[in-house]
Amino acid sequence: MDVVLVHKSQPEIDTLETLLPRFGFLTEAPDEKIRILIRWGNTDGEDKGRLVVNTKDALGRATDVKRALAYWQINGVRCPKAFYTKKPLKKMAIPVTGGYLITGESFIRRYIVYVFDLQILGLIRKIGNQVAEIPFQNPFSPNYGPEMALPTQHKEWEKVCIMATRAIYAVGLHFGAVDVGVDKSGKAYALQIDPAPRLTRYAARTMANAFQAYIMRSLRKEEFARSMSVLTMGADPEFMLRNKVTKQMILASNFFPFNGIVGCDQRSVLGQRRQHPLAELRPAPAKEPVELFGNLQKTMAEAIKLAPYYNVEWVAGSEPFPGYQIGGHIHFGGIRVTTDLLRALDNYLAIPVMLLENPESARKRRKKYGFLGDYRIQPYGGFEYRALACWLVSPRLTRAVLCMAYLVAINYLRLNKDWLADARLRLKFKEADKAAFYLIFQEIWEEISALPQFPKYKEMLEPMAKMIMNKKRWRENVDIRETWNMPLPTRIYYG
């Protein structure tokens, strides 16, 4: 049997069984190894599928409210500052599965958000005693476009849906229904997850379509290879400017426009809307990482024309100046973000880059940015992976990071280890506590080295691997114009 769904005879199972006639439906996971095992809230038996959708461990994290809250806090998912009890001790108690959350927050609206593989299947909105179902276009239909990935026609729904996908991903699930509360200020909070939700007829049909699309992508290697053939890569790494003598920050908006291949990020100096400290490179997208690297060099040449001053240094890394965190965002076009792809990027790309970072500035950055699984849907039909610090510190590391990102993206179904499922390792990642990750990198490197495309990129990847194995870190305080061997101007900036 290729696909087995393990359940607890919940009411919606009869409907799903009718909609998915080729699936096996059992009340306990089979002893023999199968291709794909799906757990509908049932933790009986072992995870013996080649692929497991909602693993036993992830279900344990999701259904234990205290563990779920802990995972969310580590991963920057907004949730109430609360404690869990089986009895309501205050009027502010929020009912959740098996008990109550006691918190100071109150919510004027509640939503149940159906999520599968980072796609929104639908919403149920609760205001007092009023309940309304808000169906979305099926994200697994052929006519579904990237502009429909989030309900942007309603800003609150968009915030609620982003919170729900982050909450599901943080505990390690592929699907579930997330209870999200919205307070008076409009902030969305994750409250709990039901990994075996009650389904309306519409939700059941959409969930069944989602299962079929996932199975098709996972089992049909030819179709997966064809989808990877249209992959494109882009990037928009950020950097900052510094006075060579005083080491003080210089505003990027003094030189760069908002639009174009070199520009300013929208973040501004606190209280000064027209002062923008972060510069951004926006190279043309490419089919391969080496081509993207060449495009990046062209944007840097353009940037030096716009800021042609010897004493205006460029700095990269995690946090060049206190309170100003920067990132090395990588874009993937032509493919849809999925749970498995995002998890592969976190484990096989974000871990190596973290091992190169300055731990002090990395810790500061991850208080606000760079959380695991951080991504943003883009209108061109792809997504932006946002977990990495800015890797522009040197051309060798830049090329290595881009090549590593490419190999992970086109091979993510092969790269299925999830070291970061362990809450202790997630916390160590957030704190840039590297000791436990050096042995993990040995495993990462072995798997990357075994990929069929590795020989083509071996020479470009090895400098990064050697630095990590020698426990060296990148230099964040250098002028990256020099590390990139760019011709330095002779003019002096007096601003």
Q: Spell out the per-residue pLDDT of the chain, length 495, in tens.
A: 689 999 999 999 999 999 999 999 999 999 888 999 999 999 999 998 888 999 999 999 999 988 999 999 999 999 988 777 777 665 567 777 777 777 777 889 999 999 999 999 988 998 877 788 876 665 655 444 433 445 555 889 999 999 999 999 999 999 999 999 999 999 999 999 999 999 988 889 999 999 998 998 887 765 566 666 789 999 999 999 999 999 999 999 999 999 999 999 888 787 677 799 999 999 999 999 999 999 999 999 999 999 999 999 999 999 999 999 999 999 999 888 999 999 999 999 999 999 999 999 999 999 999 999 999 998 877 999 999 999 999 999 999 999 999 999 999 989 999 999 999 999 999 999 999 999 999 999 999 999 999 999 999 999 999 999 999 999 999 999 999 999 999 999 998
Q: Would you tell me how many other CB atoms lie within 10 Å of the CB of residue 366? A: 24
- pTM for this prediction: 0.93
CATH of 229-483, one of 1.10.287.130, 3.30.590.20, 3.40.640.10, 3.90.1150.10: 3.30.590.20
**Spatial contact of 224 and 413, defined as CB atoms under 8 Å apart:** yes
Q: How high is the pLDDT of residue 147? A: 37
Q: Where in the chain are the domains? A: 3-58, 78-219, 229-483
pLDDT of residue 227: 62
In this predicted structure, what is the pLDDT of residue 74?
A: 93
d(CA 213, CA 417): 22
Count CB neighbours of 461 within 10 A: 20
Give the total residue count for the chain: 495
**How far is Cα of residue 396 from the mean position of the Cα atoms in its chain?**
25
Say if CB 351 and CB 468 are below 8 A apart. Answer: no
One fold for both 78-219 and 229-483? Answer: no
The answer as to CATH 3.30.470.20 being correct for domain 78-219 is yes
